[in-house]
Structure 1
């Protein structure tokens, strides 16, 4: 999903802030009632993360 409002896109690398684990974004979805994006990562497809739980790699 390409949207100028989301921080990450499919295939992009990110880091989970809490664990410092590097991950690859598999899917991005806008959660309308929460007004924010959620992300599924290739490394753990049964869990989703919100944008504030991820960061760009340095």
Structure 2
């Protein structure tokens, strides 16, 4: 299993909107074999690594 790309508290950009957000928490989704992230600015939405980029 690879490690997660982003860490809690890190500022990243949502690729579709170019909005800067802060990672709230992350989790590994075993059946999809990738990481999901929730952000402080949108707590009810999750994003996958490919939807985010380093700020």
Q: Answer 1 or 2: which has greater strand percent.
A: 2
1:37 match: 35
Equivalent position of 1:13 in the other structure: 11
Instruction: Report how many residues are paired.
Output: 54
Within 2, Cα distance between the matches of 1:31 and 1:40? 13
Q: Show structure 2 runs of 5+ residues with no match.
A: none
For residues 11-33 of structure 1, the C-alpha deviation after alignment (integer angstroms, 9 at most, x for no partner) is 00000000000000000000000
Query: TM-score, normalised to structure 1's length?
Result: 0.90
Question: What TM-score do you get using the length of structure 2 for normalisation?
Answer: 0.95
Structure 1, unaligned runs of 5 or more = none
